[in-house]
Structure 1
Amino acid sequence: MNTYFNIKKKLEHFSIDIEYEFEKGVLVIQGESGAGKTTILNCISGLQTPDEGRIAFEDTMVFDKEAGINVPTRLRNIGYVFQNYALFPNMTVQQNIVYGIKNRPEYKDKDKKSELVMYSEYIMETFGIAHLKRKYPNHISGGEKQRVALSRAIVTKPRLLLLDEPFSALDQQTKEIVYKEFAAFKENFQIPTVLITHDAMESEMFADRRIVIKDGKIIEKLL
C-alpha cells in the first residue's frame, strides 16, 4: 500500500476534505497561508485527529475512523520538521538529533544503541553539521538549525517525512544553499515526503507530485 490519506476535518472558517495517494518521492501541497496545509500534516502525523477518514503508510493503517484505529504519534514512525524547527534550546545539536531515537525500542539494547548513535554521527556528517554537535541552537544560524531539524527527523529512518514550510524562515542567500542540500538529500535518502509550501518556485523545484489546495480542498493537480 502506498502513502494514502483521506482527511475530513471541520475548522473555524471551512472544512478540510482532501484525499490523495502517492507511492514515493516528494508530494508538494501548495497553498496560501490559512489554506489548511499544516492541519493536514498534523492529521497525518497524529498531532490532530480527523473528524472522518483513513490514513495509511505502506501496509499499515494508522487512522481509520470507522474501524476505531488511531495509532499514537510516537508509534507512527514519522519524521516531522516544523516551520520553526522546534529544537530544544537547552540541548546541544547532537542531543537534539539523538533525542529522535531515544524512544526507539532498540535504544535500550547496548549494541543497537551504539549502532543508532553511529548512524546519528553519519547523518551529522552528511549534512555538514558534525562540527556543531556541541553547540546550542541559539548559537547557530538559521540554515544550520534547518539542517539540525532535518537530521533529527530522518535519524529515526522514518517511513514518511513531513516538512512544514521548511525554507520560509531563511534569508534568500541561505535558501540557495539549502535548496541544493535538500535536492541532494532527496536523491540520496529517497524517503516518501510531504512538503507544504506557499512558494510556487519551491513547489516546481522539488515536487514529484503536486497539488494546490484552497480552503482545505484540492483545486488543482499539477503532476
Structure 2
Amino acid sequence: MVVERAQRLNVLTAEIRLQISSSFQLDCAFEVPSGFTVLFGHSGAGKTSVLDCIAGIKTPDCGKIAMNNQVLFDSKQGLNLWPSQRRLAYVFQSLALFPHLSVAENVSYGLPHEPSNTATERTRKMLAQFGIEGLQDRKPGDLSGGERQRVALARSLVTEPHALLLDEPLAALDRPTRKNIVTDLRNWNTARTVPVLYVTHSVREALALGERVLVMEGGRIIASGPPAELLNPEDWD
C-alpha cells in the first residue's frame, strides 16, 4: 500500500487489496491524473476487478479510493459510497445499451433527475459532440459497432463524471474507428481534464492511446511510466 498523500486537482487515487480467490489477490496502489492512463495486462491480470472496485461494484477487503478530495472508499473509516454517489462513468466492453430505446433515449437515461428541457439540451450537445446527432431516433440494433460505442460513451459522459473508466470498449472495432472515437474523447476532455483509465491487453492499443501506462500482472502493478519506454509489441503481443 502507498503512503497517503495530499490530493491534487483531478487525480484519482486507489489503494486496493482484495482476495478474489484462494490463489489470486489484488494488491495494488496507483494514481490516475487527468488525461489518458492505460491499465495494461494480459487477460486474468485483474484489470476489470480494479475498475469494479473503483466504480463500487466490488468492495475491497481493505484500502482507500479517492477522487480529488472526495473519499469514495476507506476501509479504516468504514466508508463505502454507492456507485451512484461516486460520479464516475464506467463503459463496459458489452456497452449495455437498451435495445428498446432510441439513441437519444439511451443517452438521456443517465439524467433521470434533471428537468426535461435540461436533459434534452444536454443530450443534444452530447450527441453532437460524438457526431451521432443524425442517429437520435434509431435503435441500437440499427447501428454499426462504432456508432453503438459512441452512444455508450455519450450516455456515460452526459452525466458530467469526475472520472471515466473504460473496460476495453474499442476492442471489437477497426483501427480507424478506434482512432476517431479516441480523438472525440480527447476533444471532450480538453476542457474538463478528468482522469481517464483505459483497460486493454493490446500493446499496440496501449502505445497508441496512453499518455501513461500502468502494467499489471498477477493482481499487482509491476511498472508505470510512458508506454514507449515500458512496452515492446514483440515481447507482449
TM-score where L is the length of structure 1? 0.90
Partners of 1:84 and 1:169 within 8 A in 2:
no
Task: Determine the C-alpha separation between the residues in 2 that align with 1:121 and 1:190.
Answer: 22
TM superposition outliers: structure 1 runs of 4+ over 4 Å: none
Q: CA deviation at 1:23?
A: 2.9
Q: CA deviation at 1:58?
A: 1.0
Q: Which residue does 1:52 correspond to in 2?
A: 62
Q: CA deviation at 1:118?
A: 0.6
Q: Which moved more, 1:46-55 or 1:115-124?
A: 115-124
Question: Do residues 199 (structure 1) and 202 (structure 2) align?
Answer: yes
Question: Do residues 190 (structure 1) and 154 (structure 2) align?
Answer: no
Question: Do residues 219 (structure 1) and 228 (structure 2) align?
Answer: no
**Percent identity of paired positions between Structure 1 and Structure 2:** 36
3-state secondary structure, aligned to 1:196: strand
Q: Which residue does 1:15 correspond to in 2?
A: 25
Q: Which residue does 2:46 correspond to in 1?
A: 36
List gaps (5 residues or longer) in structure 1.
Answer: none
Question: Do residues 117 (structure 1) and 143 (structure 2) align?
Answer: no
TM-score where L is the length of structure 2? 0.85
Q: CA deviation at 1:85?
A: 0.6
Question: Do residues 154 (structure 1) and 157 (structure 2) align?
Answer: yes
Provide the aligned C-alpha RMSD in A. Answer: 1.6
Q: Which residue does 1:129 correspond to in 2?
A: 132
Q: CA deviation at 1:173?
A: 4.7
3-state secondary structure, aligned to 1:157: coil
Partners of 1:26 and 1:208 within 8 A in 2:
yes
Partners of 2:55 and 2:86 within 8 A in 1:
yes
Task: Determine the C-alpha separation between the residues in 1 that align with 2:178 and 2:197.
Answer: 19
Task: Determine the C-alpha separation between the residues in 2 that align with 1:29 and 1:55.
Answer: 16
Task: Determine the C-alpha separation between the residues in 2 that align with 1:31 and 1:100.
Answer: 31
Question: Do residues 3 (structure 1) and 6 (structure 2) align?
Answer: no
Q: CA deviation at 1:175?
A: 2.9
CA distance change for structure 1 residues 168 and 78 in 2, over 3 Å: closer, same or farther? same
Task: Determine the C-alpha separation between the residues in 1 that align with 2:182 and 2:196.
Answer: 15
Q: Which residue does 1:78 correspond to in 2?
A: 88
After superposition, what is the alpha-carbon deviation per residue over 1:92-145, rounded to whole angstroms, capped at 9, x for unaligned?
Answer: 11111001111x4xx1xx4xx422321110010111111111111111010001
List gaps (5 residues or longer) in structure 2.
Answer: 1-6, 227-237
Match of 1:100 among 97, 105, 110: 110
CA distance change for structure 1 residues 122 and 21 in 2, over 3 Å: closer, same or farther? same
